[in-house]
């Protein structure tokens, strides 16, 4: 008689981040089979479409098996690591984990009854969220005919042939429903008899006409493309943050009608103020740079023109005015573009804003920005000047109404007090959603930012 393996071995699943994501890539394992782990110990680092996050294990034990290798993209809910929570007890080894597309009834039955692990922190306890227990195969005959087929599939046993439910992932089922396709009529081509998106699309293709097809005239055979010379090209998989960024930018560019306006401004006085603030005791311990004063200028301009701080609700056909400013800062990282934001930036003093800005940028560059830090932004600043370019036409962050691009600050000839003098000059570009912001409002906001940077004392008189 053997011990209950379901009680001894725990399957830790890829947690649900709670942000609508369905998969994550395992970047690095911090443990190997045979290692002892304790509750709360970080066992791996994963990258979702929004951030890289370290995952803690929710119980004590010894690592029995790692289900996936580094670099593998895993569906949320799939078992990624098996832990022996009662090492030293003689028992049979656990059966291999089911594929990511199949339910894992035994592992779910062994899950702790307290709070459940999610990608960041822990979810609600069982007392507040109840799940109907799954029944074994013996209980199937007690249910109705249709329910029996579904329950049998969930329990991993064959359903009656006449009522077998086609295997397909939820997105594929939704696609079939939207296209009016009955999954039962489709011949699956995916692994283990799973219906794929291609199968659904193929089912919607028109059937070939039974009429005679006229013989086409001979077409010269296409000239084969010259094979690529080894070493001349490199293909990089698009995934993680870069994949999410690409999708977001395409969605934004072809959803929101962009308008971009430009202004060139003398920022000599602002640069002098930056140098003075660096030696100010109230700014000790924080980084002072031109971006800090640009951010403050944008916040003052929004205060003077609050209608620019809004979002477009397509479903409700409403403009939603935001009475707070979550200021996004575009940051280039090794994993791609991230846009974390400073929550309630409008309420922060200049030292507080400088501290938040420094923490945000350093965290992003270290690759430790959390998904929550990138949610809820209202406007964004992108500092392209650090790359030595004059300006650009920035694309709106999805859900936001405006984005300000700051160009390089250069010493240029400038008419100052009736004479041509060398002055420090930059070009600003403001892109905005023309559904929300008309030309007059966008121009006023950009003009105010430029006026503040030209005469930074307006931070006091206007702020």
Of 125-134, 223-232, 411-420, which gets the smallest average pLDDT? 125-134
Cite the DSSP H helix spans in 206-344. 240-253, 268-278, 290-304
Overall average pLDDT of the 31-58 stretch: 86
pLDDT band at residue 242, thresholds of 50, 70 and 90? low
Higher-confidence residue of 448 and 160: namely 448
* Between 318 and 118, residue with greater pLDDT: 318
Nearest by Cα to 294 from 372, 382, 410 = 382
Question: Quick check: 291 pLDDT over 70?
Answer: yes
Place of tokens 């064959």: 158
**Whole-angstrom distance, CA of residue 412 vs CA of residue 426:** 9
Q: Quick one: CA dihedral 203, 206, 209, 214, positive or negative?
A: negative
* C-alpha angle 165-136-153 in degrees, rounded to nearest 5: 15
**What is the pLDDT at residue 289?**
95
Q: If you average pLDDT over each of 171-180, 364-373, 401-410, which comes out highest?
A: 401-410
pLDDT > 90: percent of the chain: 44
DSSP state of 137: G
Confidence label for 223 from pLDDT (cuts 50, 70 and 90) = low
pLDDT of residue 208: 53
Q: How confident is the model at residue 228 (pLDDT cuts 50, 70, 90)?
A: low
Q: How confident is the model at residue 199 (pLDDT cuts 50, 70, 90)?
A: confident
pLDDT of residue 438: 93
Choose the weakest-confidence range: 152-156, 233-237, 319-323: 152-156
Q: Which residue has the tokens 């209980």?
A: 139
Q: What is the mean pLDDT of the chain?
A: 79
pLDDT digit string, tens, across residues 9-40: 899 998 875 555 778 888 899 999 999 999 88
Dist CA 435 CA 301 (whole Å): 20
pLDDT at 217: 58
pLDDT at 226: 58
Which range of 3-12, 154-163, 208-217, 396-405 scores highest in mean pLDDT? It is 396-405
Q: Active site includes 434?
A: yes
DSSP H helical segments within 17-135, as ranges? 105-109
If you average pLDDT over residues 344-370, what whole number do you get?
91
Confidence of residue 425 (pLDDT cuts 50, 70, 90): very high
Q: What was the pLDDT predicted at 286?
A: 93
How far apart, in Å, are the Cα atoms of 14 and each of 75, 76, 149, 183, 280?
A: 7, 5, 27, 28, 48
64, 258, 416, 434: the catalytic one is 434
- Predicted confidence at residue 225, as pLDDT, reads 56
Residue 93: pLDDT band with limits 50, 70, 90: low
The residue-averaged pLDDT of 240-269 equals: 82
CA 358 from centroid of its chain's CA atoms? 22
Q: What's the pLDDT at 17?
A: 59
Q: Which of 17, 13, 14, 15 is nearest to 244 (CA)?
A: 17
Residue 394 has pLDDT above 80, yes or no: yes
pLDDT band at 102 (very low <50, low <70, confident <90, very high): very low
User: What is the rounded average pLDDT of the residues 163-168?
Assistant: 66
Q: Look at residue 103 in the predicted model and tell me its pLDDT.
A: 41
Cα angle, residue 429 at apex, residues 428 and 432 outer, rounded to 5°:
145
């Amino acid at each position: 008689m053997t011990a209950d393996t379901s009680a001894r071995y725990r399957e830790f699943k890829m947690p649900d981040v709670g942000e609508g994501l369905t998969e994550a890539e395992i970047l690095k394992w911090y443990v190997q089979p045979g290692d002892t782990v304790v509750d709360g110990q970080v066992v791996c680092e994963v990258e979702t479409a929004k951030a890289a996050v370290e995952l803690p294990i929710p119980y004590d034990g010894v690592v029995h098996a790692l289900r996936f290798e580094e670099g593998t993209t895993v569906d949320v809910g799939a078992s990624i690591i098996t832990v022996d929570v009662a090492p030293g007890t003689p028992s049979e080894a656990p059966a291999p984990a089911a594929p990511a597309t199949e339910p894992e009834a035994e592992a779910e039955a062994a899950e702790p009854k307290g709070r459940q692990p999610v990608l960041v922190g822990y979810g609600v306890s069982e007392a507040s969220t109840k799940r109907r227990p799954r029944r074994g195969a013996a209980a199937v005959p007690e249910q109705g005919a249709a329910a029996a087929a579904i329950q049998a599939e969930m329990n991993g046993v064959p359903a009656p042939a006449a009522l077998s439910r086609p295997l397909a992932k939820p997105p594929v089922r939704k696609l079939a429903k939207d296209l009016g396709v009955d999954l039962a009529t489709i011949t699956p081509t995916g692994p283990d008899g799973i219906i794929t998106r291609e199968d659904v699309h193929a089912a919607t293709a028109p059937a070939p006409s039974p009429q005679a097809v006229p013989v086409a005239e001979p077409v010269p055979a296409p000239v084969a493309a010259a094979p690529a010379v080894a070493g001349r090209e490199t293909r990089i998989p698009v995934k993680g943050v870069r994949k999410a960024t690409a999708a977001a930018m395409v969605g934004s560019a072809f959803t929101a009608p962009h308008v971009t306006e430009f202004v060139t401004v003398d920022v000599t006085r602002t640069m002098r103020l930056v140098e003075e603030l660096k030696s100010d005791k109230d700014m000790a311990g924080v980084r002072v740079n031109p971006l800090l004063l640009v951010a403050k200028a944008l916040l003052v301009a929004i205060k003077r023109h609050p209608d620019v701080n809004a979002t477009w609700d397509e479903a409700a056909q409403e403009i939603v005015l935001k009475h707070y400013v979550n200021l996004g800062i575009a940051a280039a990282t090794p994993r791609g573009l991230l846009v974390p934001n400073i929550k309630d930036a409008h309420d922060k003093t200049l030292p507080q804003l400088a501290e938040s800005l420094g923490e945000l940028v350093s965290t992003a560059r270290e690759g430790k920005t959390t998904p929550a830090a990138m949610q809820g932004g209202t406007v964004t600043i992108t500092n392209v000047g650090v790359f030595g370019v004059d300006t650009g036409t920035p694309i709106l962050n999805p859900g936001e109404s405006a984005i300000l691009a700051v160009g390089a600050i250069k010493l240029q000839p400038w008419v100052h007090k009736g004479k041509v003098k060398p002055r420090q000059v930059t070009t600003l570009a403001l892109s905005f959603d023309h559904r929300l912001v008309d030309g007059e409002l966008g121009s006023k906001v950009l003009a105010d930012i430029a006026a503040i940077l030209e005469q930074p004392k307006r931070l006091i008189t206007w702020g």
